[in-house]
Amino acid sequence: GAVVSQHPSWVICKSGTSVKIECRSLDFQATTMFWYRQFPKQSLMLMATSNEGSKATYEQGVEKDKFLINHASLTLSTLTVTSAHPEDSSFYICSARDNREVQETQYFGPGTRLLVL
Amino acid sequence: AQTVTQSQPEMSVQEAETVTLSCTYDTSESDYYLFWYKQPPSRQMILVIRQEAYKQQNATENRFSVNFQKAAKSFSLKISDSQLGDAAMYFCAYKEALYGNKLVFGAGTILRVKS
B88 forms beta bridges with B111
Q: Give the nearest chain A residue to B49 (CA atoms).
A: A105
Q: What is the CA radius of gyration of chain B?
A: 14
Contact flag B44-A32 (C-beta cutoff 8 Å): no
For residue A104, pLDDT beyond 90: no
B91-101 pLDDT, tens digit per residue, is 999 998 875 67
| Partner-chain contact B42 A110, CB within 8 Å | yes
Contacts of B33 in chain A (CB under 8 A): 103-105
- Distance, in angstroms, between B54 CA and closest chain A CA? 12
pLDDT of residue B100: 62
3-state secondary structure of A86: helix
Q: B100 near B30, Cβ under 8 Å?
A: no
- Angle made by CA atoms A77, A83, A84, in degrees to the nearest 5: 80
Is the CB of residue B66 less than 8 Å from the CB of residue B72? no
Q: What percentage of chain B has pLDDT greater than the value 90?
A: 88
- Note the pLDDT of residue A84: 96
pLDDT value at B68 more than 70: yes
Q: Is A20 exposed, middle or buried (0-12, 13-18, 19+ CB in 10 A)?
A: middle
Strand, helix or coil for residue B96: strand
Cα B43 to chain center, whole Å?
Answer: 17
User: What is the pLDDT at residue A52?
Assistant: 87
Of A42, A43, A105, the CB nearest to B50: A105
Give the per-residue pLDDT at B97: 82
Neighbouring CB atoms inside 10 A of B64's CB total: 16
pLDDT band at A54; cut points 50, 70, 90: confident
Alpha carbons B44 and B23: distance in angstroms, whole number: 21
Which distant-in-sequence residues (6+ apart) come within 8 Å of B71 by Cβ? none
Q: What was the pLDDT predicted at B8?
A: 97
Is the pLDDT score of A99 beyond 80?
no
B11 touches chain A (CB under 8 A): no
Q: Any chain A CB within 8 A of the CB of B50? A: yes
Mean pLDDT (whole number) for B81-97: 96
Length of chain A: 117
Interface test with B, best of A10, A32, A44 (most B CBs within 10 A): A44
